Structures are given as C-alpha cells and as structure tokens.
C-alpha cells in the first residue's frame, strides 16, 4: 500500500466522477483507472494528469 500518493482520495474522486453524467463520455477511462488504483492501492502521476485532463475537458465541452 502506498502511503504517499493518497490513492484512497483519488479513488473516491474517481467514483464520484463515474457517477456524474458530465463525465459519461470518459466513463470507460475513469472506471479503468479506478479499477487499477483500487487493485494496486497506488495512483501514478500520469493517472492524476489524465483525470485532470478529463475534468478540464468536461468544463470545456461545448455539448453541455
């Protein structure tokens, strides 16, 4: 278990994002990251970057 990366907080955020209709377009990616994070009890910087990019994309998405 990784004590430094606060993977539990990231996992909770991922679960919230997966439940949010604004992120439905990225649900496969978010749920895949969530599954990996839970399984490995760790989150990488690249995964955090991907999550941030998805959140930024939802804000800028002109569809809604």
User: Where residue 16 falls among pLDDT bands split at 50, 70, 90?
Assistant: very high
pLDDT over threshold 90, residue 61: no
Q: What is the pLDDT of residue 29?
A: 97
What is the C-alpha separation between 7 and 14, in angstroms, rounded?
A: 10
The two tokens of residue 6 are: 């606060």
For 45, residues 6+ apart whose C-beta sits below 8 A from its C-beta are none
User: For residues 32 and 37, what is the distance between their CA atoms, to the nearest angstrom?
Assistant: 9
Q: What is the rounded CA–CA span in Å between residue 10 and residue 51?
A: 9
What mean pLDDT do residues 35-59 have?
Answer: 94
Model pLDDT for residues 25-41, shown as the tens digit of each residue: 999 999 999 999 999 99
Q: pLDDT > 90: what percent of the chain?
A: 80
């Amino acid at each position: 278990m990784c004590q430094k990366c606060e993977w539990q907080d990231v996992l909770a955020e991922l679960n919230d994002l997966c439940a949010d209709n604004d992120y439905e377009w990225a649900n496969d990616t978010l749920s895949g990251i969530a599954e990996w994070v839970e399984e490995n009890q760790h989150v990488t910087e690249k995964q955090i970057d991907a999550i941030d990019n998805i959140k930024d994309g939802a804000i800028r998405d002109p569809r809604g």
